[in-house]
Amino acid sequence: MMPRETIRTARFEARVSPEVLAVVKRAAELQGRSVSDFVVDAARDAAHRAIEEACIIRLSVEDQHRFAEALLNPEPLTPSMERAVARYLSLNA
């Protein structure tokens, strides 16, 4: 028989005002959940949203076309950009 994996948990504490606690308790009650379960789910959802917002770039259709066009047909490098590329290549070759 394979040994069962042990599920480990970590403790998380936060100090909140009585008003915030009352709102959180009320919301948890409305959903029939414990305060702990409600807070953990809300924190996880907020963390996922924050990560998504930081990692995903959203563009309008027009901006998507402009971006694709810039990739497919880039503007020529300016002299200062050519020097920067040459310097980068000399340092990282």
Q: What is the pLDDT of residue 93?
A: 79
How is 6-51 classified by DSSP, letter by letter?
PPP---------HHHHHHHHHHHHHTT--HHHHHHHHHHHHHHHHH
Q: In angstroms, what CA-CA distances link 25 with 10, 29, 42, 68, 90?
A: 21, 6, 13, 49, 61
Q: What is the pLDDT of residue 84?
A: 97
Query: Taking the complete model, does pTM exceed 0.75, yes or no?
Result: no
Q: What is the pLDDT of residues 24-41, one digit of tens each?
A: 999 999 999 999 999 999
List the one residue out of 29, 51, 47 whose CA is nearest residue 38.
Answer: 29
Domain ranges of the chain: 18-92
